[in-house]
Amino acid sequence: MKAVLMHEHGGPEVLKYEEIQDPMAAPGEALVRVRACALNHLDIWTRKGEAGRHIALPHILGNDIAGEVLSLRTPVEGIAPGERVMVSPGTSCGRCPQCLSGEDSSCRNYRILGYQIWGGYAELVRVPVPNLIALPGHVPFEEAAAFPLVFLTAWRMLVTRARVRVGEDVLVWAAGSGVGMASVQIAKLHGARVIATAGGPAKVEQAKKLGADAVIDHHSQDVVAEVKRLTSRKGADVVVEHVGQATWERSILSLAHRGRLVTCGATTASPTSSSRSCTPCCRWRRPATRTR
C-alpha cells in the first residue's frame, strides 16, 4: 500500500510518501480502506515529537479516520466487508476493570490510533472491530473523519466529567477550534446557554451559526468582564478549557461559585506543569475537574 511515513520527528518535510507492505489484521481486527483522514492537532504534536510519549519510528500518523471495511480476520455479526465506517480512535483491552466499567481511557493498554499505533495516513489501517462505527449513507467520509477525536474529547469533558445540565452557563474558549466547535454543539444539545469566545469577526459569526448564544471576541474584548456581564455577575457554571497558559487565569476568574472547569490539555503551554499536556482523553492526561 501507499502510506505517509515519518522516520524522524520534525516539520512537514519529515513526512514521506512511500510504498510499504499491506498490514495484516490480527484476530479481532478489521482491515479498513481509508477514504478520509483528518489532520488533528495531536498529529502535529506527534510529528514534532511534542506529544509527551515516546513514539516508535517509523510511524504512520492519522487519528481521525473514515473508510470502508476491506476484510475481517474472523467473521463478525453485523459487520461485512464493504461497510462504510467511522473509526473510534481510542483502543483498549476491553477486559480489565477500567474497560468493563466504561472507563476505557484509564486502561493500561489504552492507545490512540495515529499516536501510539499506526493511523490513517495510509491506504489501509488495522482497526479493532469494537472501534468500527457504521456510517449512515448520507454522511460523507470527509465529514465523518472530521468528527471522532474532538467530539470524543468534548463529550467526555462536558458530559462525563462536568455533567453539564439544562440551563447552565457554559463558557467555551476558541469556538473556531475542533474541541471548541464540538463543545458548543454538545453543550447546546444538553440545554445549556453557551457563551463562546472566538478570534475575529469571521469566527464570531461562525460560532453564532454553530449555535452559541453569545460570542465574545477574545482579540478585542475582555472575556472575564463579558462573562460576568452576560451572567449578571454569577460567572460560568462550566468552563471548557483547552488553550492553557494563555487563558487559564481568565478561565478561573470566569467561573461561578462552585463552577466546574474541565480541561483536555493545552495548545499554548501547560498551565499546571512544565511539560505540555496535550492529548485528549488518554489516561495520563485525562480531563480534570476543578471545583471552586
Contact residues for Zn ion (CB under 5 A)? Answer: 92-93, 96, 99, 107
Q: Which among 120, 118, 122, 96 has a CA at the least distance from the CA of 109?
A: 96
Residue number, 96 or 129, with CB nearest to Zn ion: 96
CA–CA separation, 169 and 237 (whole Å): 5
Residue number, 96 or 252, with CB nearest to Zn ion: 96
> Least distance (Å) from Zn ion to the CB of residue 155?
20
Strands in 60-207 per DSSP E: 65-72, 84-87, 90-91, 111-112, 124-128, 132-134, 169-172, 193-198
Cell of residue 137, nine digits: 449513507
Residue number, 267 or 279, with CB nearest to Zn ion: 279
**Which residue shows C-alpha cell 492529548?**
279
> Least distance (Å) from Zn ion to the CB of residue 68?
28
> Least distance (Å) from Zn ion to the CB of residue 126?
18
**Which residue shows C-alpha cell 454543539?**
185
Q: Where do runs of H (alpha helix) occur along 37-76? A: 41-48
> Least distance (Å) from Zn ion to the CB of residue 102?
11
> Least distance (Å) from Zn ion to the CB of residue 97?
8
Contact 28, 73 (CB under 8 A): yes
Residue with the closest Cβ to Zn ion?
Answer: 107
Residue number, 98 or 279, with CB nearest to Zn ion: 98
Residue number, 130 or 176, with CB nearest to Zn ion: 130
